[in-house]
Amino acid sequence: MNDQTLTPEERVANLKGMGSSRKRVEDVRFTQGKGNYVDDIKMDGMLFGAFVRSPYAHARVVSVNKEAALAIPGVVAVLTAEDLAPLGLHWMPTLAGDKQMVLADGKVLFQGQEVAYVVAENRYIAADAAELVEVDYEELPVLTNPFEALKSDVVLREDLAGQTEGAHGPRKHHNHIFTWEQGDKDATEAVLSQADVVAEEMVYYHRTHPCPLETCGCVASMDKVTGKLTLYGTFQAPHAIRTVVSLISGLAEHNIRVISPDIGGGFGNKVGAYAGYVCSVVASIVTGQPVKWVENRMENLMSTAFARDYWMQGKIAATKDGKITGLWCHTTADHGGFDACADPTKFPAGFMNICTGSYDIPTAYLAVDGVYTNKAPGGVAYRCSFRVTEAAYFIERMIEVLAIKLNMDAAELRRINFIRKDQFPYQSALGWEYDSGDYHTAWDKALKAVDYEGLRAEQAQRVEDFKAGKTRKLLGIGLTHFTEIVGAGPVKNCDILGLGMFDSCEIRIHPTGSAIARLGTISQGQGHATTFAQIIASEIGLPADDITLEEGDTDTAPYGLGTYGSRSTPVAGAATAMAARKIRAKAQMIAAYLLEVHDNDVEWDVDRFAVKGAPERFKTMKEIAFAAYNQAIPGLEPGLEAVSYYDPPNMTYPFGAYICVMEIDVDTGEWDVRQFYALDDCGTRINPMIIEGQVHGGVTEALAIAMGQEIAYDEMGNVKTATLMDFFLPTAWETPNYTTDHTVTPSPHHPIGAKGVGESPNVGGVPAFSNAVHDAFRPFGLVQSHMPHDHWRIWKIANGLGMHG
């Protein structure tokens, strides 16, 4: 234990702390089939719930006949809105200040909406019974286009009739939800009117879906003897779910235990509250038996939270030599039948006002109008921080559109407009204070890494060859420099349903020098058990391998707002470091006592406190831990543990430079990613291997979104992409090779300088892929074409440009 033969470097290595590519400790059980997901939970007498869902996008529910379903042996109950109404649970509040039907109350507003909930002894009987529930519908006119919805006489939300004031201000029309304005409208319009050059374009970011491999589900178990409800579920925010369940059910919060077990991916889809949770809880309270509900893939794609669906009309002004002088954006946001967007309360369009991106744009204005349509509700941040992906896509397309207008190289246009290193902390025109950045260094490194000049020369030759009939393939170079805003957030401006967005960590050191830490977050695959142990290891000098991480059980973990929006490392990671520092402060006093010197006469050295000037006199953390519990130390309580609740002073602003090189077959629309380079600057890097894995996963999702993934509706409001046949989820075959790289610009306000990385690759990847497609056709006159860039839409670009003879 008192090994003096190891060098400090060896002792650092033994900790496997920050900077170590420690292997993920979670993977042992995941790769051996020992994960414990919601659907693995089995309880005595457990019942199963299944929904009857609307086949129509807009219809009146005339009647629901349960008789045939109830006649099947093994069917326990069939719940409808009528059954929930006496409990006040036929509607529930949404995260966005709206309300949403739990079960259809007189009408349905989207295909797949929950109409009745069947409870049966097993899931087979439940499925059979759901088929036999007879629902009489009267079809109503369907609105799937938000622009038409704002003009239509058809009232979607009759429950809001006459309400001219919504949760976020005045409503302009019966299908209008809110208007959110940021920046200086008059000043921006003045800049636009006087500018040398203004580029204008509609940028549509299509509707898609996070599609985690594990769908949403829960097991509700009401113990009628103790009066305690245990709710297992796929919750990205278990503590918030507990509070919300308490508020809407009237159960006391101490009688509710929420447990998020292993979660098979969330990506924002598992942030909100769904009808399945409410119905399962009610069913368990009524029957006194546990009730499990797990949605299938089609239900997940059709009814749980979608992402994006933003129509972003943009104008960007610049001088004739390319200095951007102003940015204007009006967004029409399609929220579906209910506003169940997952955003901090004061931000109905999330952090869309990060849409000035990485650029020093002195004047800007943003307005967002939210609109009801006959589509599924949601609008969650699919692997991004609250609408940051939409913002990044918008500005990175507008930069390309401006480059075309100016006839400039898009890399150079970015370079001359980047916020300079010496401008940080930088106050953006739309209200944010960027914490730190060094965009020029990252950009130059990226361009050099891919030999940008060489690529442009190759592309020019390819254009010549194409025109000469020597090839039918084009080459596109997709550039992106993105800036994120993550780590919500300061409680002073970020809350969800009034719950402040701090986070927490509690660390207990055991007498023999190992530890357990519990956090208010919940891993869905991010590797928290691996990385947070590394933070603690570096802070208090105990090996990461000796530290257990626990999350997701509200009876044991400290309160926190959960994992989404890349907030775990910026917020809970900071709490972890702060809790560890409290422990180290106490350890210092214990060490000084043991070494018989004053507290100030010992200094920290990797895994021990040593007497200043006498490094051979020291006490290791293991020794200190044992003494903390077993030795009477005057003036100190026994034990060694700490808890920290961390309210960050600011968001963090990770950034990156991504470059995609793509080959495109103009005859078939097929594409091939030849090269993808991803440079991320997430500040201090805790585990480089996990960062690389996050980047690979996020870029692959970005590839899917940009190149084919969508939730598409026909004019009747039918979902056309409700299975994985049509909803593009890439396999290893479609996934290109990635080159990852990094720079390190620590966050000045975060205790360890970390900024978060999980969502950067989705945010930066989408514009990189899309810009590659656009760039391939730029020499032939393309300015803007909407995603997803699947084969036929790429073919359509080529066809429209007369490339098929």
Partner 1 sequence: MIPAGFEYHRPGDIASAIGILQEHGDEARVIAGGHSLIPMMKLRMAEMGHLVDLQAIEELKGIEIGAGTVSLGAMVTQHELITHDGLATAIPLIREAALQIADPQVRYVGTVGGNVANGDPGNDMPGLMQCLNATFELSGPDGRRSVAAREFYEAAYFTARDDEEILTRISIPVPGAGVGQAYEKQKRKIGDYATAAAAVMVGNGHASVAMTNLADTPVWSESASNALADGDVSGCVAAMLDAIDPVADNRGPVEFKKHVAAVMLRRAIERAQSRAG
Nearest to partner 1 of 42, 733 (CB atom): 733
* 473 touches partner 1 by CB under 8 A: no
Binding partner 1 (rule: CB under 8 A), the pick from 34, 639, 792, 801 is: 792
- φ, ψ of residue 181 to 5 degrees: the values are -120, 140
- φ, ψ of residue 749 to 5 degrees: the values are -105, -10
* 668 touches partner 1 by CB under 8 A: yes
* 181 touches partner 1 by CB under 8 A: no
Nearest to partner 1 of 298, 597 (CB atom): 298
Nearest to partner 1 of 135, 486 (CB atom): 135
Rounded-to-10 torsion of CA 247, 251, 255, 259: -50
C-beta atoms surrounding 103 within 10 Å? 28
Q: Give the range of 38-46, 168-176, 598-606, 785-793 binding partner 1 by CB under 8 A.
A: 785-793
Name the minimum Å distance from CB 48 to partner 1: 10
Binding partner 1 (rule: CB under 8 A), the pick from 527, 708, 758, 767 is: 708
Tokens of 529: 């058990």
* 672 touches partner 1 by CB under 8 A: no
* 351 touches partner 1 by CB under 8 A: no
Contacts (Cβ under 8 Å, ≥6 apart) of 118? 49, 50, 51, 52, 69, 75, 77, 78, 79, 126, 129, 130, 133
Binding partner 1 (rule: CB under 8 A), the pick from 254, 420, 470, 804 is: 804
* 667 touches partner 1 by CB under 8 A: yes
Asked, as a colleague might, if the bond just before 348 is cis with ω within 30 of 0, I would say: no
Binding partner 1 (rule: CB under 8 A), the pick from 556, 614, 720, 781 is: 720
Binding partner 1 (rule: CB under 8 A), the pick from 127, 190, 286, 803 is: 127
Q: How far apart are CA 176 and CA 180, in angstroms?
A: 12
* 795 touches partner 1 by CB under 8 A: yes
Binding partner 1 (rule: CB under 8 A), the pick from 39, 105, 121, 128 is: 128
DSSP-H helix ranges across 513-573: 528-540
Catalytic residue among 22, 157, 207, 383: 383
Amino acid at 580: A
Binding partner 1 (rule: CB under 8 A), the pick from 347, 432, 728, 769 is: 728
Element (H, E) at 465: helix 452-467
Known active-site residue 608: no
Nearest to partner 1 of 157, 789 (CB atom): 789
Known active-site residue 617: no
Q: Which of 153, 179, 156 has its CA nearest to residue 166?
A: 179
Element (H, E) at 398: helix 388-406
Binding partner 1 (rule: CB under 8 A), the pick from 63, 600, 731, 737 is: 731
Asked, as a colleague might, if the bond just before 314 is cis with ω within 30 of 0, I would say: no
Name the minimum Å distance from CB 325 to partner 1: 41
Nearest to partner 1 of 523, 721 (CB atom): 721
Q: Interaction with partner 1 in 131-170: which residues (CB under 8 A)?
A: 131
Q: Answer yes or no: are the C-beta atoms of 133 and 117 closer than 8 Å.
A: no
Q: Which of 216, 249, 248, 220 has its CA nearest to residue 232?
A: 220
* 796 touches partner 1 by CB under 8 A: yes
* 733 touches partner 1 by CB under 8 A: yes
* 68 touches partner 1 by CB under 8 A: no
Question: Is the alpha carbon torsion for 401, 406, 408, 413 positive or negative?
Answer: negative
Name the minimum Å distance from CB 804 to partner 1: 7
Q: Give the range of 20-28, 563-571, 601-609, 665-673 binding partner 1 by CB under 8 A.
A: 665-673
Q: How far apart are CA 174 and CA 167, in angstroms?
A: 14
Binding partner 1 (rule: CB under 8 A), the pick from 30, 124, 147, 629 is: 124
Q: How far apart are CA 672 and CA 646, in angstroms?
A: 45
Distances (CA, A) of 499 to 49, 552, 604: 30, 17, 38
Q: Answer yes or no: are the C-beta atoms of 119 and 125 closer than 8 Å.
A: no
Name the minimum Å distance from CB 731 to partner 1: 5
88 forms beta bridges with: none
Euclidean distance between the first and the last CA atom of the chain, given in angstroms as a whole number:
78
Name the minimum Å distance from CB 50 to partner 1: 8
Nearest to partner 1 of 213, 725 (CB atom): 725
Name the minimum Å distance from CB 710 to partner 1: 9
Q: Give the range of 18-26, 462-470, 559-567, 723-731 binding partner 1 by CB under 8 A.
A: 723-731
Name the minimum Å distance from CB 304 to partner 1: 15
Question: Is the alpha carbon torsion for 727, 733, 735, 736 positive or negative?
Answer: negative
* 801 touches partner 1 by CB under 8 A: no
Q: Is 358 exposed, middle or buried (0-12, 13-18, 19+ CB in 10 A)?
A: buried
Catalytic residue among 295, 299, 390, 759: 759
Name the minimum Å distance from CB 799 to partner 1: 8
Rounded-to-10 torsion of CA 342, 344, 348, 351: -100
The size of the interface with partner 1 (CB under 8 A), counted in residues, is 30
Q: Which of 274, 277, 271 has its CA nearest to residue 237?
A: 271
Known active-site residue 383: yes
Known active-site residue 423: no
Name the minimum Å distance from CB 668 to partner 1: 5
Q: Is 88 exposed, middle or buried (0-12, 13-18, 19+ CB in 10 A)?
A: exposed
Q: Interaction with partner 1 in 263-322: which residues (CB under 8 A)?
A: 296-298
* 726 touches partner 1 by CB under 8 A: yes
* 214 touches partner 1 by CB under 8 A: no
Name the minimum Å distance from CB 288 to partner 1: 26
Contacts (Cβ under 8 Å, ≥6 apart) of 5? none
Name the minimum Å distance from CB 708 to partner 1: 6
Catalytic positions, written as ranges: 236, 383-384, 759
Binding residues for partner 1, rule: CB under 8 A, are: 123-124, 127-128, 131, 296-298, 667-670, 708, 712, 720-721, 725-726, 728, 730-731, 733-734, 790-792, 795-796, 799, 804
